Structure 1
Amino acid sequence: MAAAGGGSSKRTWVVDMEKKLKEADKSSEVSRWERHCIYRVPPCMTNIKSKAYQPQVVSLGPFHHGDSDLRPMEEHKCQALRQLLQRTERTFDELVDGLEDIAEQLEGMYMDLDGEWRRDGRERLLAMMIFDGCFLLEVMRCTADDGKQVGDYAHNDPIFSPHGILRPKLGLNMVAYIRRDMVMLENQLPLLLLQKLVEVENGNPPNDDFINRMVLKFLAQSSGPVPPGIGLGLHPLDVFRRSMLTGKCHQILSPQGIEEDNAIIRSALKLYEAGIRFKPSKTLSLHDIQFRSGTLSVPTVSVDDSTEYMFLNVMPFERLHVGVGNDVTDYVFFMNNIIDSAKNVALLSSKGIIQKAIGSDQAVANLFNTISRDVMLEPNSALVAVQRQVNGYFWKPWDVRRANLIHTYLRSPWAFLSLAAAIFLLGMTVMQTIYTVMQFYRDDNSSPPPSAPSPT
Structure 2
Amino acid sequence: MKEKQPINSITNVNIGKQGWVDHISKNFNEEVGIDISNIPVCVFNVPKSISRFKPEAYVPQAIAIGPYHHFETHLYQMERYKVAVVKAFLNPDQVRSFGPLVIERLKKIEPMIRACYHKYLDLDDEMLAWIIAIDGLFLLDLFKHYGEMEPYIPKRLLHYDTLYRDVMVLENQIPLVILNELQMIINGDPDLLPMLIGFCEVHSPLKLTRDSSYSIGDTSYLHLLDLMYHLIVNNESHKHDSLETCHGERSNVMHNVPKKDHIIRGHMDEIIEMGQKLGKIRKFGKAISVMVSIPWDKISNLLGIQIRDKLDEEGDDHPRAIEINIPSVSSLSKYGRINFIPTNGGIRDAKFVSNEATLYVPVITLDTYSDVVLRNLVAYEVATSSSTMELSQYVDLMSGMIDTEEDVMLLKGKGIIEGNMTNTKIVEFFNGMNKLNESVKSNEIVEQLNEYYNRRLRIKVWKYMKKRMRGSRKVLTIVLTILACMLMIVYSFCEVYGCPKLFNKVT
TM-score tier by shorter-chain length is 0.5 to 0.7
Distance in 1 of aligned mates of 2:406 and 2:388: 32
Q: Per-residue deviation at 1:44? A: 2.8
Q: SS state of the match for residue 189, structure 1?
A: coil
TM-score normalized by the length of structure 1: 0.66
Identify the match of residue 216 of structure 1 among 189, 200, 206: 200
Corresponding residue for residue 142 of structure 1 = 145
Q: CA deviation at 1:110?
A: 0.6
Which residue of the partner structure matches residue 374 of structure 2?
311
Q: Does 1:247 align with 2:231?
A: no
One-letter identity of the residue aligned with 2:430: F
Secondary structure at the counterpart of residue 311 of structure 1: helix
For 1:130 and 1:354, locate their aligned partners in 2 and report how far apart those are by CA, in whole Å.
39
CA distance in structure 2 between the aligned counterparts of 1:387 and 1:140, rounded to whole angstroms: 39
Q: Could you list the per-position Cα deviations for residues 405-429 of structure 1 after superposition, in whole angstroms to 9, with x for gaps in the alignment? A: xxxxxxxxxxxxxxxxxxxxxxxxx
Q: 1:398 to 1:222 in 2, by over 3 A?
A: closer
Aligned 8 A contact 2:402 2:408 in 1: yes
AA of the residue aligned to 2:62: V
Deviations 1:116-173 (A, max 9, x none): x1xx3x2221121010011111222222xx53x8xxxxxx7342xxxx4xx477xxx6
* Pair 1:277 & 2:333 matched: no
Structure 1 residue 357 and structure 2 residue 351: aligned?
no
Confirm whether residue 108 of structure 1 aligns to residue 171 of structure 2: no
Q: Which residue of 2 aligns with 1:64?
A: 69
Alignment of 1:4-23 (within 5 A): none
Deviation at 1:88, TM superposition (A): 7.5
In structure 2, the partner of 1:191 is 176
Number of residue pairs matched by the alignment: 341
Deviation at 1:109, TM superposition (A): 0.7
Match in the other structure for 1:99: 106
Residue 400 of structure 2: which of 337, 347, 371 is its match?
337
Distance 2:93 2:349 in 1: 44
Does structure 1 residue 390 correspond to structure 2 residue 449? yes
Maintained 8 Å contact 1:280/1:351: yes
1:43 is aligned to 2:27: no
Q: 1:94 is matched by which residue type in structure 2?
A: L
Q: What is the percentage of aligned positions where both structures have the same residue?
A: 24
Measured at CA, do residues 247 and 54 of structure 1 come closer, stay the same or move farther in structure 2, by a change above 3 Å?
A: closer
Rg larger in 1 or in 2? 1
- The answer to whether residue 266 in structure 2 is matched with residue 266 in structure 1 is no
Aligned to 1:367: 429
Structure 1 residues 83 and 228, CA, compared in 2 at 3 Å: closer, same or farther? same
Corresponding residue of 1:433: none
Distance in 1, Cα, partners of 2:118 & 2:161: 27
- CA distance 1:362–1:217, change in 2 (3 Å): closer
Give unmatched runs, 5+ long, in structure 1. 1-30, 150-155, 402-456
Q: Judge conservation of contact 1:179–1:218 (CA < 8 Å) in 2.
A: no
Instruction: Report the residue type matching 1:328 in the other structure.
Output: L
1:236 matched to 2:224: yes
SS in 1 for 2:348: coil
User: Aligned partners of 1:223, 1:337: CA distance in 2, in Å?
Assistant: 21
Task: Measure the CA separation in 2 of the matches of 1:197 and 1:260.
Answer: 45
- TM-score normalised by length of structure 2: 0.60
- Mapped partners of 1:290, 1:87: distance in 2: 56
Question: Contact 2:143 / 2:196 at 8 angstroms: preserved in 1?
Answer: no
- What does residue 83 of structure 1 align with? 88
Where does residue 421 of structure 1 map in the other structure?
none
Instruction: Using CA pairs under 8 Å that are at least 6 residues apart, name the structure with larger relative contact order, 1 or 2.
Output: 2
CA contact (8 A) 2:253 2:439 kept: no
Instruction: Give, in whole Å, the separation in 2 of the partners of 1:329 and 1:385.
Output: 15
Specify whether residues 187 and 353 from structure 1 end up closer, same or farther in structure 2 by C-alpha distance, changes over 3 A only: same
Write out per-residue CA displacement over residues 71-129 of structure 1, whole angstroms, 9 at most, x where no aligned residue: 111101211222222268563122235434533222111112232x1xx3x22211210
Is 1:74 the equivalent of 2:79?
A: yes
